[in-house]
Amino acid sequence: MIRVGASLISSDLLDLGNVIKNLETSGVDFFHFDVMDGHFVPNLTFGPDLACQIKNFTDLPLDVHLMTDRPEETAQWFLRCHPDYISWHVEIEAAHERISSMLRKNSIRPGMAINPGTPVDKIFPFLHLLDFVLIMSVNPGFGGQKFIDKAAEKALEITKKKRIELFIDGGINDKTAPIAKKFGIENLVSGSYLVKSADISQSLEKLKSC
């Protein structure tokens, strides 16, 4: 079954509460929260205070994606928010086992993200630490980018190594969602296409029925 998460980076932040309630009412399955540090990616976004407010505002799962060059430190900031998922990047040299253990102890599901240009086998040594993998289908840093088709193909190689929950993020719309589904990716993170839609319910239905 396809699940769709709304990426809040594309939201009108001055009206975020109403945006979240509208997405909830329309049937979105979870919220995706991008954390960018201006080092690992050339952009700055959200911190733990906003994540905690969102978690207290909605009963839907919160998925925190750390695009930071110090994921162990950054992950600790978000423990008090109790998000449902936290992912960090395989491209960063980090204490991956320690991060995974810390998240599990706090009842947070650990995941790892992989960029489009990163060879898929780089993530294989860490799959035993993870509950999910987030496949980036754009180069992280900014919303509204074009979907990179070949990124979705990573799903086949990952699932050969381990049956694991898969997410995909970047350029997801009614044309690209079927590509993700074809490769067995069941969690779609959609930003501009969904959040800026004139009819969110209709756009959501197109993604779920792809």
Rounded CA gap, 60 and 20, in Å? 10
- Residue 103 structure tokens: 């998240």
The DSSP bridge partners found for residue 62 are: 31
Indicate the length of the chain as a whole number. 210
Q: State the catalytic residue, choosing from 29, 149, 169, 174.
A: 169
Residues contacting 47, CB < 8 A, separation 6+: 35, 77
Q: For this structure, is 169 an active site residue?
A: yes
29 as an active site residue: the answer is no
Which one from 34, 59, 84, 149 is the annotated catalytic residue? 34
CB-based contact 86:62 (threshold 8 Å): no
What are the C-alpha distances in Å from 181 to residues 2, 21, 138?
8, 27, 17
Enzyme catalytic residues: 34, 169
